[in-house]
Amino acid sequence: MGRLGPFTDDLLAWGLSRLREFPWRATRDPWHVLVSEVMLQQTNVGRVYPRFERFIALAPTPAACVAVPLADLLVEWQGMGYPRRCRNIQEAARVIVDRYDGVVPRDLGALMELPGIGPYTARAILAFAFGDDAAVVDTNVARVIARVHGRALKARETQEIADGMLPRGLARDWNQVIMDFGATVCDARMPSCATCPVVVHCAWRGAGEDPARTTAFTSRPQARFEGSDRQARGRLMKRLTEGSVAVTAVAEVMQLDDVVRAERLAASLVGDGLVELVDGGYRLSSTRR
């Protein structure tokens, strides 16, 4: 563990002038950070990029988010995937308005009680919005830590190491630096060990079995999308952004031959609170919270 001090110093020295610029990095508004982090949970940066500012324009504060019909938020969400996150954002806004007078709480436990906010997102809000000493472990960070240590790590171990290497008072910069380093240098498939700025601190250095492969937090292969329930649900959600769909047309919209499966999937969207059934047709949920 002794090498982690110099590792942190060297990585900071390398990374501070190389930070990638994203709209969500230009703000310290806790609500905007919360929205961006939920968007980034399961959608890549390229797809979040154009959506983030439009979503924030529609729902600039928790109070404003509560006042917007969910259907309008879902239209803006279209193309991001996993639309339950959009509903979670509005549910979180409702809790923030009801319980915290519209102000995002600056507390790990309180943040984790918000719908759709897990330990990762809660720590990200603390670090990126409030500058608190919270180590954020995403897939990039976990991969770097496992490789530098040269062995596979459990989730708790990884978080403890990340907490231990966090330079106090620099959480915002440090988390961004190590994330960007993982994304651009210590790449999942092709790490640039030959030009790595912290190679002297790394136990693995690209030789032999990659310890990141079996480390917690690191990416697992995604389930097949083609032909999946998620694809069929996504097709219906997309069509619903243009208007209602008759119950009898759902299977066709989902491009499914199996009508029973189509009905089950449509019912699951209703159950998720994303869609409602009105007068024999489905439409995006218009519930005002």
Q: What angle do CA 272, 86, 96 make, to 5 degrees?
A: 100
CB 283 within 8 A of CB 275: yes
**Distance of alpha carbon 8 from alpha carbon 14, whole angstroms:** 10
37 in active site: yes
Catalytic residue from among 21, 37, 226, 263: 37
CB 175 within 8 A of CB 120: no
CB of 15 vs ligand SF4, minimal distance in Å: 12
CB of 37 vs ligand SF4, minimal distance in Å: 25
Q: Does 15 participate in binding ligand SF4 (rule CB under 6 A)? A: no
CB of 235 vs ligand SF4, minimal distance in Å: 40
Restricted to residues 172-211, the positions that interact with ligand SF4 (CB under 6 A) are: 185-186, 191-193, 196, 198-199, 202, 204-206
Q: Are strands 245-246 and 275-278 parallel, antiparallel or unpaired?
A: unpaired
Contact pick of 93, 148, 265, 274 for ligand SF4 (by CB under 6 A): 148
Q: Does 120 participate in binding ligand SF4 (rule CB under 6 A)? A: no
Q: Does 3 participate in binding ligand SF4 (rule CB under 6 A)? A: no
C-alpha pair distances (Å), 103 with each of 64, 98, 115: 12, 10, 15
Of 48 and 141, CB closest to ligand SF4: 141
**Distance of alpha carbon 15 from alpha carbon 181, whole angstroms:** 7
Q: Does 39 participate in binding ligand SF4 (rule CB under 6 A)? A: no
| DSSP one-letter code for 234 | H
Q: How far is CA 23 from the centre of its chain?
A: 15
CB of 192 vs ligand SF4, minimal distance in Å: 6
Rule CB under 6 A: which residues touch ligand SF4?
A: 144, 147-148, 185-186, 191-193, 196, 198-199, 202, 204-206
**Residue numbers annotated as active site:** 37
